[in-house]
């Protein structure tokens, strides 16, 4: 499926490496307290859905239409102040396909970029926990897999 808008090969791989749920929770722990800007990469792999996002309990995106199959978007930035070492991004509404999360420190301009399947910084452990269905994430050196409903299983090869 062709992604819209067109993007680089690396970003296309990240976008297609998504998790989905009607009630998706993405949590980053051990985040230093401070002010951050958060972006989320969303995409649609089949039919348009209407979804909403909240960040640390505050609504940041309401009734967003994901568009037709292949449509992706980097949404944000959404400002958040971390006081407990945690950033929690929650999705609701239709099936939300979350491909990645980008977090920028307002103080230093440093970015933390995490793909839900492959956290890149041990100090920022990312945990995905959909509330409506079990999800197990298995990480291997060259492959990542998410076990979800059989009709939505995905396995994506990774280049290291």
pLDDT at 66 over 60: yes
Q: How many domains does one find in the chain?
A: 1
Rounded Cα gap, residues 20 and 146, in angstroms: 10
Could you give the residue ranges of the DSSP H alpha helices within the chain? 9-16
Most confident of 65-69, 119-123, 125-129: 65-69
| Of residues 55 and 114, more confidently modeled | 55
Confidence at 112, pLDDT banded by 50, 70, 90: low
**How many angstroms separate the CA atoms of 33 and 83, rounded?**
5
Query: What three-state secondary structure class fits 106?
Result: coil
Report for 25-34, 46-55, 136-145: range of highest mean pLDDT: 46-55
Q: What is the CATH number of the domain that holds 84?
A: 2.60.120
Give yes or no for residue 73 having a pLDDT over 90: yes
**Rounded to whole angstroms, how far apart are CA atoms 16 and 156?**
8
Q: Identify whether 142 is part of a domain.
A: yes
Residue 129 domain flag: yes
Residue 131, in any domain of the structure: yes
The mean pLDDT value of the chain amounts to 77
Q: What is the span of the domain harbouring residue 40?
A: 9-157
Contact 154, 17 (CB under 8 A): yes
- As given in the structure block, the two tokens for residue 61 are 């995106």
- Judge whether 93 lies within some domain: yes
Instruction: Give the percent of the chain with pLDDT over 70.
Output: 69
3 is a domain residue: no
Reported pTM: 0.70
The count of other CB atoms within 10 Å of the CB of residue 58 is 10
Domain assignment present for 4: no
Residue 51 lies in a domain: yes
Question: Does residue 48 form part of some domain?
Answer: yes
> Which runs of consecutive H residues, i.e. helices, occur in 1-116?
9-16
What is residue 107's predicted lDDT score, i.e. its pLDDT? Answer: 85
């Amino acid at each position: 499926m062709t992604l819209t808008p067109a993007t680089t090969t690396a970003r296309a791989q990240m976008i297609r490496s998504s998790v989905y749920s009607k009630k998706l929770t993405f949590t980053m722990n051990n985040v230093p307290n401070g002010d951050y800007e958060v972006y989320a990469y969303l995409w649609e792999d089949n039919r348009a859905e209407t979804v909403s996002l909240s960040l640390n309990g505050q609504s940041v995106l309401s009734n967003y239409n994901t568009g037709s199959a292949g449509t992706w978007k980097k949404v944000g930035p959404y400002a958040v102040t971390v006081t407990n070492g945690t950033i929690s991004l929650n999705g609701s509404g239709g099936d939300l396909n979350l491909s990645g999360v980008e977090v920028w420190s307002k103080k230093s301009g440093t970015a933390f970029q995490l793909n839900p399947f492959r956290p890149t910084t041990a100090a920022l452990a990312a945990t995905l926990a959909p509330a409506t269905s079990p999800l197990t994430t298995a990480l291997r050196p060259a492959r990542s897999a998410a076990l979800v409903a059989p009709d939505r299983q995905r396995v994506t090869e990774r280049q290291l």
